[in-house]
Structure 1
Amino acid sequence: MFFQLCSIETTRLLRRWLPWVTASACVFFSGLSLHNFYSSNRAQLMSGEAKIPGLSFDLATALDVAPLVSLPFLVLLAANLMGNDYTQRTNQHWLARAPRHTGLLAKFAVLTGFTFLLQILILLAGGGVGWYYKALTFNAFSLANVNNLAILAAPFYMTLASLPYLALALLIAVITRSTFAAAAIGLAYTEFVEILLTTIFHGQKWMMWHPRSLATSVTYLLNGIGNRVVEFPDYLAQPDAAMPVLFVYTLVFLLAAVWLYRRQDVGG
């Protein structure tokens, strides 16, 4: 039944315009970031004053900048997918087929899968823009110094960095029983409250365990795509410590959503 619900939720998700806008916006933004880099530094790159970066730069940069756009869209997707069950009364239909937690977990699984595919799409977009400029403008395309294993790992840990926000949006939707409220509260938190907290308390030791700081820590793994070793800021947790904590945040929010959903009266 779980996989049947996943199939149903996938169909429901892809019939909406929001996931397609999300994918388009992420590809456009990551591609535009690379385009701006190559176009603004074209003279220096052509003259040799600046070294032409490798493919690893394109892949890592695309994944690094994409969360600026992908995170708010993913919050909207989660709020929309869960909140619509209340406004359209579809949760009553699912509850006649499977336990409540199965439907909610199916939604989370579908959102996770979409996020993972989104990371792959962003990787391809970054590689495509980089190839265009290096092969057709600078005639200097090369696969040298690219760590293939790091490329394969990148979509997994970048997806993990987004999971706490997906689970939190589902939790808010369950609490408020509203798509609009879940979207508004979720966006207010991720786009205002979190940024405000990280700005005010920047450098505080306890802030390294905040979800946004943990997600930032994970992005330092992107340097491995080009086999680069960089100095790690002391105000961030190490990635190998950040990833388990991100998983714990996700688990706590998801279990809270399941616990509340199983106790709600959704028959009215």
Structure 2
Amino acid sequence: MSLLEAPGTQPAVEAADLATEALDLGYDGTRVVHALDLRLPPGRVTAIVGPNGCGKSTLLGALARVHGPQGGAVLLDGRDLATLRPRDAARRIGLLPQQADAPDGLTIRDLVRYGRHPHQGLLRQWSPEDAAAVHRALTAADLLELADRPLDTLSGGQRQRAWIAMVVAQETAVVLLDEPTSALDLGHQLEVLDLVHDLAAQGRTVVLVLHDLSTACRHADHLVAMCEGRVVAEGPPADVVTPGLVRELYGVESVVLRDPTSGTPVVCPVRRVGTR
């Protein structure tokens, strides 16, 4: 069942305009992302791709206010994200990092309830609205019947959908996912990516970091290709993915075909640059 079919009244999602302006990011004095100007299409799925170490996950963390800029800014609806209170930012932007850990014995329902934390406070404890949001998220992720199962008894795809359901319950306008299909088999990858499309269909701005370029082309509306901390190409996958881009990103000679069903690019690696 999709998010659009989940029971209960789904709160309207206001389109969020997320952008960076001359953004510099780094660690311990080492610059990782350089003077990045980027605008993410509201209500669409954007995939960030590029070689290991190019700054993809660092950028995603900055978009979620996990990493503070060394220069420039992240802008949410034109406002510097750094000026928002942490709780206010968490009500607008949800992040699922690449490595997510939970205590032993935690059930799916308990995990998804954590998504409501930004909506709690001294004057607002658990409410029927919170319970409804958890129910909608469990239904959207097709986990309602498994809600009382411990996480450590689930398959990889079920577990990943449970983590995404926690972000769904947060009811943010922006959803950031770092390699959500990592280590999943093909069927479970499709389960997760179908859920991602449901989020965007409801009006959320979704940003994924993905390693597989063909998967990114198939499932993203917008592609951001990074290399050495800079954006080297962006736009609809069919417009930007070429053998030249694959060579620049990965040092690989390739043939780029068209998927016969979707028309999106399919990258067929041939050899490393400079090898016979």
TM-score band by shorter chain is under 0.3
What TM-score does the superposition give when structure 2 sets the normalisation length? 0.26
What TM-score does the superposition give when structure 1 sets the normalisation length? 0.26
Larger radius of gyration: 1
More strand by share: 2
More helix by share: 1
